[in-house]
Amino acid sequence: MTVKIGVIGTGAIGRDHARRINQVLAGGRITALSDVNRASAEAVRDSIAPDAEVFATGEELIASAHVDAVLVTSWGATHEQYVLAAIAGGKPCFCEKPLATTAEGAKRIVDAEVAFGRRLVQVGFMRRYDAGYVALKQAVETRTGAPVMVHAAHRNPSVPEAYTTPMAIHDTLIHEIDVFRWLLDDDYVSARVTFPRSCARTHAKLRDPQIVTLTTAKGVVINTEIFVNCHYGYDIQCEVVGEDGVARLPEPMAVRMRLNAQLQNPILTDWKDRFVASYDVELQDFLKAAAAGTATGPTSWDGYMAAVAADACVAAQENEGEAIAITYPARPALYV
Ligand code: NAI
Ligand code: ISE
C-alpha cells in the first residue's frame, strides 16, 4: 500500500521530509501540501511533489479524501491545532517537535488521542533513531553501571534573529529533554538554569549560552550547555557517567586529514546533515505504521512530558539559580 501524505508547513524541514518521502523512502507519496506562504508549498510541488494538490489551509488538507496521513512541519506554535484536527479525522500524524509549545496544549493532544482510543501521533524526536544514541543507550544499559551524571552540549553555529531565550528550551533543548528520558529510562523532578555572561554574537532578547541542570527521579544530574551562537559548527555532545565507567556519544563520521601541519577533523555546520540518517529511519517507521492506520515511536505522552519539563526550564530561566519542581499526572494506559 502507498500511504497518501499531506504536508503542512513547507519550510526547511517540511521540504526535506517531502523529499525523503518521494525520493528516498518506500511506501509513501506526497499528495497534498499547505503553507501560510502558498508560494512555498507551490515551490515544493514544482520541485519535489508533482502529484500534490496545494491547499489553502491545513484543515482542508487534513479533510481531503486524497490524504491518508499528515506531516505537521509548520512553526511550533501552530502544531496543536493541526494534530488535533488529524486526530479528529482519524488520520495518523507525524508532528515535528515540539508537539505543542505549552504543556496544556500537549495535554489536549494526549486527551484527544486517548479518547480516540488508538495511537495516531508520532512526535519527531529523531534522536531516538540515531545510530550513535542507540549505541550509547546500549552501553549505558549493559556496560557503564547505573548512571550518575550526564554532561551534554547542544551547540548551533547561529540562529535566526527572531530566536529568543525561551526558544533555547522549546526549540533546541527539547531534543535533549526527550532523549535523556529515553536514554536513562527515567523522568525529571526538577530543573535549574544558570547563565554565564552572554557572548558577543547574541542580541538583547537571547541570553546565550546557558546551562540547564535537570535532576531525575532516580537521582541522575544532567548538565546541558545550550550555545546557539557558538560560531564554529553544529555540535551535539553527550557523556554518561556511570558507576563503573563512562560512555560517550560517537562523533559523526568524518575523514581525518593531515594538512598544513595540522591534524584536522571536519565538524558539521547544519542540523540537516547531523541527523540525516535518523530522519530517514523515523519517517520510514511512520509510513509503516500509518499503512496500518496507527502510529509508532515517540508518543504524544512523550511530547507532553517534554513540554512539562520545557515549561519548568523556562520558569527556571526566569528564576535563575532556583530549582523548579517538575510533576506529571499518571501515564494513561494507551502509552504504557
Ligand atoms: P521554517 O520556518 O523553515 O518552516 C516553517 C514553515 O511553516 C514556513 O514555510 C511557514 O510559512 C509555515 N507555517 C507557519 N505557520 C503555518 C501555519 N499556521 N500553517 C501552515 N504553514 C505554516 O521552519 P523549520 O525549520 O522547517 O521548522 C518547522 C518545525 O520543524 C518547527 O517546529 C521546528 O522546531 C521543527 N524542526 C525540527 C528539526 C528536527 O531536528 N527534528 C529541525 C528543524 C526544525
Ligand atoms: C532546530 O529547530 C532543530 O530542531 C535543531 O535540531 C536544533 O539544533 C536547533 O537548535 C533548532 O532551532
Q: Are 272 and 108 in contact (CB under 8 A)?
A: no
How many whole angstroms from its chain centre is CA 25?
20
* Cβ–ligand 2 contact at 171 (below 6 Å): yes
Residue 194: pLDDT band with limits 50, 70, 90: very high
Residue in this structure with the C-alpha cell 551524571, named with its chain if needed: 149
Find the 244 Cα to ligand 2 centroid distance in Å. 33
* Cβ–ligand 2 contact at 278 (below 6 Å): no
pLDDT of residue 134: 98
Find the 101 Cα to ligand 2 centroid distance in Å. 14
pLDDT of residue 329: 92
Residue nearest ligand 2's atom 6 by CA: 271
How far apart are alpha carbons 45 and 14 in whole angstroms?
12
Q: Which of 90, 122, 124, 91 is nearest to 17 (CA)?
A: 124
pLDDT of residue 109: 98
Residue nearest ligand 1's atom 18 by CA: 78
> Is-cis flag, bond preceding 298, omega within 30?
no
Cβ burial of 160 (10 Å; 0-12, 13-18, 19+) is exposed
Domains of the chain: 3-126+277-299 (3.40.50.720), 128-269+306-335 (3.30.360.10)
Residue 292: pLDDT band with limits 50, 70, 90: very high
Residue of 78, 96, 177 best suited for mutating to test ligand 1, as the one with most atoms within 8 Å of CB: 96
Percent of the chain's residues with pLDDT above 70: 100
Average pLDDT of span 85-107: 97
pLDDT of residue 193: 98
Q: Which ligand is nearest to the CA of 173?
A: 2
Find the 328 Cα to ligand 2 centroid distance in Å. 25
How far apart are alpha carbons 28 and 98 in whole angstroms?
24
Find the 178 Cα to ligand 2 centroid distance in Å. 13
Find the 271 Cα to ligand 1 centroid distance in Å. 14
Residue 175: pLDDT band with limits 50, 70, 90: very high
Residue 240: pLDDT band with limits 50, 70, 90: very high
> Which atom of ligand 1 lies nearest, measured to the CA of 174?
34
Q: Which amino acid is at 266?
A: P
> Which atom of ligand 1 lies nearest, measured to the CA of 279?
41
Q: Which of 18, 63, 62, 24 is nearest to 40 (CA)?
A: 18
pLDDT of residue 241: 98
Per-residue pLDDT of 100-146, as tens digits, reads: 999 999 999 999 999 999 999 999 999 999 999 999 999 999 999 99
Average pLDDT of span 233-258: 97
- Coil, helix or strand for 248? strand
Find the 271 Cα to ligand 2 centroid distance in Å. 7
pLDDT of residue 80: 98
Find the 116 Cα to ligand 2 centroid distance in Å. 31
What does R_g of the chain's alpha carbons equal in angstroms? 20
Residue 299: pLDDT band with limits 50, 70, 90: very high
In 2-123, DSSP assigns E strands to: 3-8, 28-34, 53-55, 69-72, 93-95, 121-123
pLDDT of residue 9: 98
pLDDT of residue 176: 98
β-bridge pairing 147-155 and 235-242 = antiparallel
Residue of 74, 78, 273, 302 best suited for mutating to test ligand 1, as the one with most atoms within 8 Å of CB: 74
Per-residue pLDDT of 246-267, as tens digits, reads: 999 999 999 999 999 999 999 9
Residue nearest ligand 2's atom 10 by CA: 172
Find the 97 Cα to ligand 2 centroid distance in Å. 9
* Cβ–ligand 2 contact at 172 (below 6 Å): yes
> Which atom of ligand 2 lies nearest, measured to the CA of 163?
12
Average pLDDT of span 46-72: 98
